[in-house]
């Protein structure tokens, strides 16, 4: 499958921002953006706003994502939220293993694997994040790190599950810093990840969408999205402004 045959996905990760009213207003503004017929768009508000945002997005082409989940469907896990709960509130996607979860909350390759399997088997599309730190990049071990992170998931999945998931490459050194990987460097990482998946399940890997997530902005989105193995973007800060996010969406086609 060629790059042009994979539907671009633009995902907005709102992180720990926005009140209930602000989340609804932003969701409505994003829904008003002209979205191309071949582009998928999802937004990931805070958990407390999921239900209200789901209602605001009814009848629009914009989907809803959770920012995290627990791998168990229910139980004594105070503060956690499960895949069935995300489905129940209207989510179609969930972000898993974001670098901030790995860095600040002790997320491991094992927990990312378990969460990915829980999402897939509950009918959610996981957006599985992998990426290297600045020290790892400068140490020349980028591919070793992201290969290990991806393998933890791939080794536990069937071919159909790999085709159903989304992979997001997010160089940790570029998140929230304003620094962005050169489009050629980002393409190299994306091609490596797809090739890694292809060794496990060749046909599925060609259908798997790989997103770029490292300080994506309106002025660099088109160049990044033109790369043959970059199938969309996981957008952080720039997704908090509907006009800016809309320009990124339009850059996808």
What are the pLDDT tens digits along the chain (253 aa)? 566 689 999 999 999 999 999 999 999 999 999 999 999 999 999 999 999 999 999 999 999 999 999 999 999 999 999 999 999 999 999 999 999 999 999 999 999 999 999 999 999 999 999 999 888 988 999 999 999 999 999 999 998 999 999 999 999 887 767 777 789 989 999 999 999 999 888 888 999 999 999 888 999 999 999 999 999 999 999 999 999 999 999 999 8
Distance of CA 186 to the CA centre of its chain: 15
For the stretch 35-53, what's the b/e string if a residue is b when 16 or more beta carbons lie within 10 angstroms of its beta carbon? Answer: beeebbbbbbbbbebbebb
Q: Which residues contact 137 (CB under 8 A, 6 or more apart)?
A: 171, 173
The number of distinct structural domains making up the chain is: 1
Strands 40-44 and 62-66: parallel
Measured CA to CA in angstroms, residue 235 lies from 16, 36, 71, 113, 216 at distances of 14, 18, 24, 22, 6
Selected catalytic residue, list 98, 107, 161, 201 = 98
Selected catalytic residue, list 107, 132, 161, 170 = 170
Q: Is 170 a catalytic residue?
A: yes
CATH of residue 168's domain is: 3.20.20.70
Q: Is 201 a catalytic residue?
A: no
**C-alpha–C-alpha distance, residues 132 and 116, integer Å:** 19
Query: By residue range, what is the domain housing residue 54?
Result: 3-251
């Amino acid at each position: 499958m060629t790059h042009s045959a994979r539907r671009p996905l633009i995902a907005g990760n709102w992180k720990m921002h926005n009140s209930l009213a602000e989340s609804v207003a932003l969701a409505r503004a994003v829904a008003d953006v002209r979205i191309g017929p071949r582009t998928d768009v999802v937004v990931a508000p805070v958990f407390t706003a999921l239900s209200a945002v789901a209602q605001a997005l009814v009848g629009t082409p914009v989907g809803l994502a959770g920012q995290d989940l627990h791998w168990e469907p229910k139980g004594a896990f105070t503060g956690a939220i499960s895949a069935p709960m995300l489905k129940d509130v209207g989510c179609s996607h969930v972000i898993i293993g974001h670098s901030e979860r790995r860095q600040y909350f002790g997320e491991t390759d094992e927990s990312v694997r378990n969460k990915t399997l829980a999402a897939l088997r509950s009918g959610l599309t996981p957006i599985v994040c992998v990426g290297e730190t600045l020290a790892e990049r400068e140490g020349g071990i980028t591919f070793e790190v992201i290969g290990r992170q991806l393998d933890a998931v791939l080794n536990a999945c069937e071919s159909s599950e790999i085709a159903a998931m989304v992979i997001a490459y997010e160089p940790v050194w570029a998140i929230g810093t304003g620094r962005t990987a050169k489009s050629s460097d980002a393409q190299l990482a994306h091609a490596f990840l797809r090739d890694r998946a292809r060794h496990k399940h060749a046909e599925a890997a060609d259908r798997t969408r790989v997103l770029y997530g490292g300080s994506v902005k309106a002025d660099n989105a088109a160049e990044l999205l033109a790369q043959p193995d970059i199938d969309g973007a996981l957008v952080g800060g720039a997704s908090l402004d509907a006009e800016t996010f809309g320009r990124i969406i339009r850059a996808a086609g």
